[in-house]
Each structure stands twice: as C-alpha cells, then as structure tokens.
Copies of this chain bind each other. A is one copy, B any other.
C-alpha cells in the first residue's frame, strides 16, 4: 500500500498554508470582511446541540428579524450560499404543476425560472431588459391573464445588472392576486430599504457575503405565516431533504431541545452573528444612508471621468454600480490591471452584459469613501 504514490505526500502534493493576497473587494460580492467578524469566525468550534450554541441561534434569529424588518417566526440562515436560499424558497413553496410568474431582468431572475422548472412548477416568464427594473405593468398583466398562479418571484436587486425593482409594488400586486411573493434579496439586504412585513413579502432569501460583509456560505431567509401555511398544506413532499423547511424548522424553531437535522456550520454562524451585531450597532437605516452616500461619491467621480452608468438613475442600486466599458478599453486588461497593480477586484459583466460593463460593488464594509476614492484613482491610472 505504501507503494501507492497517492499515499505519500510527495512533491506533487501541496504543503504550504494559503496566504490570500491583499484585496479591496469592490465586485459583486464577496465584500471585505471586518476584522471583528474574522475574529468571531476563528473562535473555537462547539457542538451544534450545545446549549450555548442554541442561545446563539436565538440571537441570530432576532438579529435577522431586525435586518429583514419582520416579526416572522421562521427567520434563519440556510446552511449554504444564496443559491441554496433561492432553492429553499422555491422547492418548499412550489409543487409540481404550480404556475409561478417569474420576472427575468438579469441572470438571477433566469436562475429563479430554472429553479421553478426543476421543482416541477410552470414558470410564466415576464421579461424586462437587462439593466431595467422589472416592469410592474407587465407583471400586473401577467397576473391578470393567469388567475390562480401560486406565486410571483422576482429579484429585488439584480446583482448582474445593478437594477433595483419596486419590491413594494410587486408584492402588493401578488397579494391582490392571491399569489405568494418570493423575493431575491441577496444583494439588497442591509444595503437599501427592504421591509419584509410592511411590503407583505412571503418568502425572501439573501446572502451573507454582500451588504452584511460576512464571508460567503450562508443564506438568511424569512417566511411569512402565509408561506408557512402553504408549506404545511403541501400535497407532495419537498423534493430536497436538505432544504425541507418542515424538517429544518424543528432544528431552528424547536422550543428548548432542538431536534437534529443536519450539522449547522458553527463557525460561519459565529461570523454572521458578529456581522449582524455590527449592522444593529450602526443602525439599519444608517447603513442604507451610507450606501446611498458612497454611491453618489462614486457616481460623481465616474461622470467626471466621462464614464456612464448602465442603469437609469431612478433604478440604480447604490451597492452595485454597472459602468459601461468605454470605447477602446480592453475589459479583461483593465480588470487585470486593477487586480494585479492596485489590488482591487471589480466584477465583469455577466450573461448578456459580458464584455459590456464592469460591476463596481460598494457593499457593506466596501461602502466607504476611502474605497470609492481608491477605485476612482485606480481607474484613472489604468484607463
């Protein structure tokens, strides 16, 4: 057995600890993580059924309710990235044959359509141009034309385009037509106004690594009592065991002793807790205002350089700025120079916008005047 070359760490097997290069993360996420959150992440691991950990879970739920502006009992972080949060919402609410109006104005709306189809649902797609918000009128027409749809799904803050949609109006339409609303808040939570209860959102998912500035790997979710009722009324089992809310909620919601479902990602939850404490200490509305201010600083600087934003002003996301690549600039060469000469990551265009835009994220810890000034200076030097 010792003759097996795989069995002996040889010259081919890595042996050095990984040291990440210093980076200012101004792409579409992850954003830079505060040292306080990194320190929390590195505290010693304890068990997922430890009474001390159960106390932490309760605090995380309270803090997430604060961030989502909700009193929803079923509010917790899914033990996987935002894509799994999307899948959690879809597979629990959509049963085979259910019709769902899905709004597609970017890559993540397209991903939701794909999730609905894989759950056996029938997506009714309402398309809007990439870079534009979801058309409320077209959604209303689709809901009128398709009475009895189970749900309306849309992306609040399209990370692929930088467009903000009118979540309040869309959720009101869903209620009016008796449909549940499923809202992608991966990039909006903590960065722009988001009111789960006031807007009547039924199911919402986000990501830890955007405006919360926690490392990637967790997806905060929240479900209204209506949504929980819909899960309880299902005729068929949820196709995913790992994401089945009827099982997960016994772990996150049990009174006293929690029943084991899967092993929670302990250290990542330490980090999420710390990042939510920092958000609460700043104040949610203060965080929204900070994101808005630093966006203005960036916009002014970009315009002074003659650069244009893709998204119309009324729909711009302060935390995700899509900048049109100017004529003559080499997309990849510019991003490489920013990364390797200036230590700054910005995002490439995604999907239909590949090669046409850069995505400059000012999310969470990244939304600071110093970050804005650094990226503007670097762009001036590179272009």
> Residues of A at under 8 Å CB distance from B?
1-2, 4, 6-9, 12-23, 25, 27, 29-30, 32-33, 36, 38-48, 50-53, 56, 59, 62-63, 65-66, 69-71, 79-84, 87, 111, 114-115, 118-119, 207, 209, 215-217, 237-242, 260-268, 270-271, 273-274, 277, 280-281, 283-285, 339, 345, 350
Contact = CB atoms under 8 A, between A and B. Distances in A.
A359 to B, nearest CB: 12
B45 A33 contact: yes
21 contacts: A7-B283, A18-B43, A18-B56, A20-B44, A21-B46, A22-B44, A23-B46, A27-B47, A38-B267, A41-B267, A47-B345, A79-B81, A79-B84, A114-B241, A118-B238, A118-B239, A215-B267, A216-B264, A216-B265, A239-B240, A268-B268
Given A215-B45, A216-B48, A263-B216, A65 B25 contact: no
Contacts of A42: 38-39, 41-42
A285 B2 CA distance: 9
A59 B215 contact: no
Contacts of A283: 7-9
A115 to B, nearest CB: 5
The A contact surface, by secondary structure, is loop
Total identical chains: 2
List of 8 A-B pairs having minimum Cβ-Cβ separation, nearest first: A217-B265, A42-B42, A80-B80, A83-B262, A14-B59, A215-B267, A9-B280, A216-B263
Nearest to A365: B45
Residue in A44, A45, A46, A238 with the greatest tally of chain B CB atoms within 10 Å: A45
A14 B62 contact: yes
B118 A30 contact: no
A249 to B, nearest CB: 15
A83 B243 CA distance: 10
A7 B284 contact: yes
Contacts of A18: 40, 43, 56, 59, 270, 273-274
B268 A217 contact: yes
B41 A280 contact: no
B14 A87 contact: no
Given A18-B40, A30-B45, A215-B268, 15 more contacts: A9-B283, A14-B277, A16-B277, A17-B277, A19-B43, A23-B44, A23-B47, A38-B45, A82-B262, A83-B262, A115-B241, A215-B265, A216-B264, A217-B265, A265-B268
A374 B368 CA distance: 50
Contact of A23 (B29, B50, B63, B268): B50
